[in-house]
Amino acid sequence: MPIAAQIKGVITPTSTIWISYDLGLRADYDGLFAWLAQHRAKECGASLAVLAFEWRESLLDELKSELSQHMAISKHDRIYVLYREKTSNKNKGRFIFGGRRAPSWTGYSTTNEVDEED
């Protein structure tokens, strides 16, 4: 469950989220890195960070909106968020920019399963 943060007398939910980013060569890394620094994100490997994010009504909508205000997003950029869903208390993952591509390991197994939801 999200932790409650006390801000000016208003209780604001705070969720721990992991952000995976796959950006192009000309992407707005400065904008993303400034936003990550502002949120005191911790580095978790290549293109992965963890941070606490405060939100009011919709975690993913507010995260997407805030990132859009702090960085230029191109149609080739992909940002994937891992989070714990508040009502079900289950871990979830979703692209907030871009989408899933064929993985590099395609063809290394005979399995034909397609997983649409995380």
How does pLDDT run across 61-100, given as a tens digit for each residue?
A: 999 999 999 999 999 999 999 999 988 999 999 999 999 9
Task: Look at 30 and 87; give whichever has higher pLDDT.
Answer: 30
Task: Report the domain count for the chain.
Answer: 1
Give the residue numbers spanning the domain of 34.
3-97
In a domain, 93, yes or no: yes
pLDDT of residue 7 exceeding 90:
no
Name the percent of the chain lying above pLDDT 70: 84
In a domain, 51, yes or no: yes
pLDDT of residue 104 exceeding 70:
yes
In a domain, 117, yes or no: no
Q: Residue 103 and residue 87: Cα distance in Å, rounded?
A: 31
CATH number at residue 69: 3.30.70.240
CB proximity list for 71: less than 8 A, separation 6 or greater: 28, 30, 31, 32, 35
pLDDT of residue 114 exceeding 70:
no
In a domain, 21, yes or no: yes
In a domain, 107, yes or no: no
